Amino acid sequence: MKASRLIATQVALICFAALAQQPAAKPMLSAQASLELYDRDLQLMQSLAIAMPDLARAGAPLTENVRFAITNLKGSAGWANTSIIYGLMGNLRAFVMLADAVDKPFPFPEEAGRQLAELRASLDRIGAHFRALLAAHEAQLRSPDRDNIGRYAVADSRLAPPAQGKPRVVFLGDSITDGWRINEYFPDSDFPNRGISGQISGQMLGRMKADVIDLKPAAVLILAGTNDLARETPLNIIQNNLTMIADLAEYHRIKVIFASLLPVSDYHHPQTARRPPAQIRAMNQWLQQFCASRRFTYLDYYSRLVDSKGMLQEQLSDDGLHPNSAGYRVMAPLAQDAIRATVGTASVPAQPQPERRKRRLL
């Protein structure tokens, strides 16, 4: 067992040196595709261990390491955690080296040979994905547009001034807003969607002028904070950012609607470790009190989406974090009521029920 771990460490070092010398990879795998690839690799390791008894004994620690890494990538660590992916690659490569070194049964099953070849090919694909992730992380650190103001620059420049009697309400947020087909839920409304997946409250603060103030809306509906919690940002820093967002909006005579953070669940994938329910409730309590003290509108999604266990209702999400179409159908009338209470009832048209569609992974 100790020898297997030593081999894994040595192979990981060789893997890192080889990757450093290779050219930049093509675009990285999506979250879903990468996790499916890792699951397949684990299946291959288990199948090869059955076909090769000596490999089953020597490779057991490596298989367990890969299993543990996949669990972390699906859960609290996040699918793009490069340090965990790096370790996973080292264990996979060590397993392949062991498979080549141990005695094989005779005749060697053709299916086992194909599985070993597939595992080798998968290692190459994971290596390309790993390089792409490193390049993306480095580019983000060096980007002159940290807040991704360029995302909506063209759309903002083409947006006509608000029409008389049709108040504009900007939806500012992260992936929960970004993935919401707002035009389908609120047709004939002037509700620009300015959500950007993965953003934290500080980045939304940086986009306030370009994506909110310059659009001259009557109100802004803000849904922010869940990604801050995932990055372990202290609550007081999140609250400071949201306060400054509100101050900017109020100074420019833009009415403010703050949405509660949504609950999360572990029914589909582990989510509560990165976004503790207690912190979500604490943020929502602060938001509700803040809105009351400043006479802003508080939009309570949380109480309508949470179940008796304090989790996001299982049927309202496919991953425990983002609403699916059923979740958005619960949220839409709540948002509509909040907008009507903020900008007036006559100017907000009735909200239809769009057809249910399978939600695409963000």
Q: Under 8 Å CB-to-CB from 327, ≥6 apart: which residues?
A: 305, 312, 313, 316, 317
For residue 338, what is the domain's CATH number? 3.40.50.1110
The pLDDT assigned to 72 comes to 80
Is 25 in the same domain as 171? no
Alpha carbon distances (Å) from 39 to 32, 59, 63, 131, 320? 11, 17, 11, 20, 19
**Quick one: DSSP state of residue 214?**
G
Closest by alpha carbon to 327, among 304, 361, 311, 350? 304
Give, for 277, the enclosing helix (H) or strand (E).
Answer: helix 277-294
Q: Are strands 219-223 and 255-259 parallel, antiparallel or unpaired?
A: parallel
The pLDDT assigned to 356 comes to 45
The pLDDT assigned to 360 comes to 37
Mark which of 86, 110, 142 sits at the end of a domain.
Answer: 142
Q: Token digits for 269?
A: 């994938």
How many domains is the chain built from? 2
Q: Which residues of the chain carry a pLDDT beneath 50?
A: 1-2, 4, 7-9, 11-25, 346-347, 355-362
Q: How far apart are CA 222 and CA 219, in angstroms?
A: 10
Q: Are 210 and 150 in contact (CB under 8 A)?
A: no
The pLDDT assigned to 21 comes to 44
The string over 320-350, giving b where at least 16 C-beta atoms fall within 10 Å of a residue's C-beta and e elsewhere, is bbbbbbebbbebbebbbebbeebbeeebbee
Please give, one letter per residue, the 3-state secondary structure of 69-106: HHHHHHCCCCCCCHHHHHHHHHHHHHHHHHHHHCCCCC
Identity (one letter) of the amino acid at 165?
G
39 is a domain residue: yes
What count of other Cβ atoms lies within 10 Å of the Cβ of residue 206?
A: 17
Cis peptide upstream of residue 107 (ω within 30 degrees of 0): yes
**Angle (nearest 5°) at CA 196 between 194 and 200:** 110
351 is a domain residue: no
Query: What backbone torsions phi and psi does residue 219 show, to the nearest 5 degrees?
Result: -155, 160
Is 51 in the same domain as 171? no
Q: By residue range, what is the domain housing residue 6?
A: 2-142
What count of other Cβ atoms lies within 10 Å of the Cβ of residue 120?
A: 15
348 is a domain residue: no
Is 72 in the same domain as 220? no
308 is a domain residue: yes
The pLDDT assigned to 201 comes to 97
Is 207 in the same domain as 84? no
Q: Give the dihedral sign, CA 141/249/329/261.
A: positive
Q: Under 8 Å CB-to-CB from 45, ≥6 apart: which residues?
A: 59, 62, 63, 66, 92, 95, 119
Strand segments (E) across the chain: 169-173, 193-195, 219-223, 255-259, 297-299
The pLDDT assigned to 135 comes to 84
Mark which of 110, 142, 174 sits at the end of a domain.
Answer: 142
Is 212 in the same domain as 316? yes
Is 212 in the same domain as 256? yes
Is 338 in the same domain as 213? yes
358 is a domain residue: no
Is 161 in the same domain as 238? yes
Is 180 in the same domain as 275? yes
Is 250 in the same domain as 134? no
Q: How far apart are CA 223 and CA 232, in angstroms?
A: 18
- Where residue 234 falls (left for φ over 0; alpha for ψ -120 to 50; beta otherwise) is beta
208 is a domain residue: yes
What count of other Cβ atoms lies within 10 Å of the Cβ of residue 251?
A: 9
Is 124 in the same domain as 163? no
313 is a domain residue: yes
362 is a domain residue: no
pTM: predicted TM-score of the whole model, two decimal places? 0.67
Mark which of 142, 175, 209 sits at the end of a domain.
Answer: 142
Q: Token digits for 165?
A: 């009697």
Angle between helices 2-21 and 53-74 (to 10 degrees): 60
The pLDDT assigned to 315 comes to 96
Is 174 in the same domain as 129? no
**DSSP letter for each residue of 285-339:** HHHHHHHHHHTPEEE--HHHHB-TTSSB-GGGBSSSSSB-HHHHHHHHHHHHHHH
